[in-house]
Amino acid sequence: MLIIRNRQLDLFRDQEIGLFTAKMVARIAEQYPARFAQLGQSGVRDLISKTIERGREFNIVTAGAVAALIDLVVQFGEGLAMSPSREWAMKLLAHPSLPDYIKLDLVRERLTAGSGGRPLMSVSSPLPAA
């Protein structure tokens, strides 16, 4: 009989989170170079870590949904503060029974509708701190 202890499972989870974080750092560097330059690699890693934790509060745990949430946080700031639909989005994210990928699809669709899906960046004002 094979016995796997919690300590071993934690190691697997930490390794997966590390790989996911590395992929997201590369994605942000490629897709959002201005934001990446502003935050630096350590700042981006911190943003990713905070967003993963915040996602857990909303029961957002699948890799695709977490990645979508990270993209939205990069575009709209922590708590989606730069979005006029922030309140609506936060309520939807807090919905207790919708699957995480449905919540993120709906939020992303609404928040990016005005830009045709392009990242929203202010030309005249500096990027907000995460």
Query: What are the residue boundaries of the structural domains of the chain, listed by start?
Result: 12-115
pLDDT digits (tens, 9 = 90+) for 92-113: 999 999 999 999 999 999 988 8
Residue 94, phi then psi, degrees to nearest 5:
-80, -5
For 39-106, give the DSSP string.
HHHHHHHHHHHHHHHHHHHTT--SHHHHHHHHHHHHHH-GGGTT-TTHHHHHHHHT-SSS-HHHHHHH
Total-model pTM: 0.78
Residue 130's pLDDT is 39
pLDDT digits (tens, 9 = 90+) for 30-87: 999 999 999 999 999 999 999 999 999 999 999 999 999 999 999 998 888 888 888 9
